[in-house]
Structure 1
Amino acid sequence: MAASLHGDRKTTTPKALSALLSTQQEEDEDEDCKQNATAYRQLGPGHIGPPPKKEKEVSTAYTKRTSKDIWSEEEVAEGSQYDDLADPRPQPEYEIILKQSVGTEDLFLGLSQKDPSSMCCEAMLVKIKLPDTKAKDVFLDLKEKYLDLRTPKYKLGLHLPHPIQNQEGKAQFFSDRQELEVTLLLK
């Protein structure tokens, strides 16, 4: 401390007086306030409230879903009520074609008000390629929304996009192309 003596009195300089009055604790508090102010500037609306809890790894059978799905893929069994999962036969290639009965008045004048959507279709054609298969080896069963085809080499369980009249329709096997065409009338 810098002090000078003038007779019996002591005089102090302003720096010495401030050093006497301030303590180290106040300086530490000022520095803490500066650090807190810097930290507060980095915060945003997402930092309001308690900090989020970290999710722990859960090794149980139930895990929390983050999506809005009603059920997960693991909960749904492969196949359906008609499928045979133990059958190792491969599925043949197939194609589904929806058909409309369209006349000239529909094509040029639009009198029947049909559109190209599947809702205006009357029939469905299913083409199934069956290489190395004979017509006598084909077993075909039709339900309202399911086609079941079995041969010694292939198996096809096909869920149909529209309900059909399972008592109506026709199937034709083309030996030269080794292809089965199934024409089904829609309900």
Structure 2
Amino acid sequence: MDLGSFAAEFQALSKLIQDPEEADNTPTPGSVSRPTPGTIGPKELLNVKVAAPKARHDPKEIWREDELEGAVEDDYDDGRQVPSYEFLYKQAVDTADNFLGMSGKDPSSTCCEDLVLRVELPEASGAAELDLDVKDTYLKLSSPRYKLSIHLPHKVDGERGKAKWDASKKVLSVTLRIVREEPL
């Protein structure tokens, strides 16, 4: 193959891959058009916007917001006071556990069956004004003066639980059964 036929074939090939809208800008016979990867294909594909890369997460984070299964919808400040609260753990033990250690339970929270949330509500007039909503991963408590929306430290059985109002101390105690995931 001689150089002249190669140039003619190359010109024919460049005309095949050239956009019809650019047909006016045909190169002169003395110049050679050099196609680039960006000039091949329809123009619609050239204007595609590439999504920004996802932000890297901090390796020291315990969790990210996108990992939460059920988000609290009304987690905004509406001026109501956030009450003080604490989590306690409850464990069912009997004498064999206490004195003989036969069940294999230890005093850590990993062997506890129940999660107890104690919420202090000093300005609450009674349990009738409290609205409590418990899901598997979060809890919402609201009243005219207080609002509490929190994610629970363990997955719980949101359908079963007990709430007890202590009128003398103005404390609400919510006992929830912890759902343990069985190892595979």
Normalised-by-shorter TM-score class: 0.5 to 0.7
Find 1:165's aligned residue among 157, 161, 174.
157
Q: Does 1:91 align with 2:76?
A: no
Mapped to 1, the partners of 2:57 and 2:86 lie a distance apart of: 33
In 2 relative to 1, CA 112–85 (structure 1 residues): closer, same or farther, beyond 3 Å?
Answer: same
In 2 relative to 1, CA 71–122 (structure 1 residues): closer, same or farther, beyond 3 Å?
Answer: closer
Corresponding residue of 1:100: 91
Q: Does 1:149 align with 2:141?
A: yes
Q: Which runs of 5+ in 1 are unaligned?
A: 1-64
Deviations 1:49-83 (A, max 9, x none): xxxxxxxxxxxxxxxx9x982599xx969xx8314
Secondary structure class of the residue paired with 1:136 = helix
Identity percentage over the alignment?
42
Corresponding residue of 1:113: 104
Find 1:81's aligned residue among 45, 56, 71.
71
Mapped to 2, the partners of 1:81 and 1:170 lie a distance apart of: 23
Mapped to 2, the partners of 1:140 and 1:117 lie a distance apart of: 28
Corresponding residue of 2:172: 180
Mapped to 2, the partners of 1:158 and 1:81 lie a distance apart of: 10
Mapped to 1, the partners of 2:130 and 2:96 lie a distance apart of: 40
Q: Which runs of 5+ in 2 are unaligned?
A: 1-54, 180-184
Code of the residue aligned with 2:117 in structure 1: it is V
Code of the residue aligned with 2:71 in structure 1: it is Q
Secondary structure class of the residue paired with 1:102 = coil
| Count of residues paired in the alignment | 119
In 2 relative to 1, CA 69–123 (structure 1 residues): closer, same or farther, beyond 3 Å?
Answer: same
Mapped to 1, the partners of 2:142 and 2:132 lie a distance apart of: 7
TM-score by length of 2: 0.58
Mapped to 2, the partners of 1:120 and 1:76 lie a distance apart of: 28
TM-align CA RMSD: 2.8
Kindly report structure 1 stretches of 4+ aligned residues shifted beyond 4 Å: none
In 2 relative to 1, CA 81–87 (structure 1 residues): closer, same or farther, beyond 3 Å?
Answer: farther
